[in-house]
Amino acid sequence: MGKIEPCRRSDEQTGSSVAFGWRRGAESPAGRLHPGPAVTGWVLAASIYGMVSVVTIVAYALDKRAARLGRPRTPEATLHLLELLGGWPGAFLAQRLIRHKNAKVSYQIVFWLIVGLHAAGWAVIARWR
């Protein structure tokens, strides 16, 4: 059995296996490599972004339908909260695909501030690692 060690990046390590977070020498009893913590974290983050994005697209579609039918709307604060929780990629797609909330300037300003906040957060995480 191989010893499981944390994935550390350095100039000495090369190869795509290290770049994707796989650790050399961390083998299971069957002799296969286990994904490193970097892979697990990125997969988890992508899964959360994906799930919240799907919810956000549905929220945009329901709000667009309510607007067309003259029914009560989803508050903009709720849509922005979904974007802030990681649904901004879904919001971006919904704005382009169903053409909802893409012309209102005040909404777009807040939306792009949220996108910038996410980008800044990931930049800090990438630099910290």
Verify that 53 and 10 share a domain, yes or no: no
User: pLDDT tens for residues 34-83?
Assistant: 555 656 788 899 999 999 999 999 999 999 999 999 999 999 999 999 99
pLDDT at 21 over 70: no
Verify that 14 and 75 share a domain, yes or no: no
Phi and psi at residue 123, to the nearest 5°:
-65, -40
Verify that 87 and 120 share a domain, yes or no: yes
Question: Looking at the 3D structure of the chain, how many domains does it have?
Answer: 2
Q: Whole domain around residue 4: which residue ranges?
A: 1-35
pLDDT at 24 over 80: no
For residue 1, count CB atoms less than 10 angstroms from its CB and return exposed for 0-12, middle for 13-18, buried for 19 or more.
exposed
Verify that 22 and 56 share a domain, yes or no: no
pTM over 0.85, yes/no:
no
Verify that 100 and 60 share a domain, yes or no: yes
Q: Which residues pair with 22 in a beta bridge?
A: 35
Verify that 94 and 56 share a domain, yes or no: yes
DSSP assignment string, 28-55:
-TTSPEEEPHHHHHHHHHHHHHHHHHHH
Verify that 69 and 7 share a domain, yes or no: no
User: pLDDT tens for residues 84-100?
Assistant: 999 999 999 999 999 99
| Cα–Cα distance for residue pair 54/100, rounded to 1 Å | 15
Q: 3 or 81, which is more confident?
A: 81
CA 85 to each of CA 8, 20, 23: distance values in angstroms, whole numbers, following the listed order: 29, 26, 31
Verify that 119 and 76 share a domain, yes or no: yes
| Cα–Cα distance for residue pair 76/105, rounded to 1 Å | 13
Mean pLDDT for the stretch of residues 18-22: 44
- Collapsing DSSP to helix, strand or coil, 75 comes out as coil
Verify that 67 and 92 share a domain, yes or no: yes
Verify that 57 and 100 share a domain, yes or no: yes
- Band the pLDDT of 7: cuts 50, 70, 90: low
| Cα–Cα distance for residue pair 77/60, rounded to 1 Å | 12
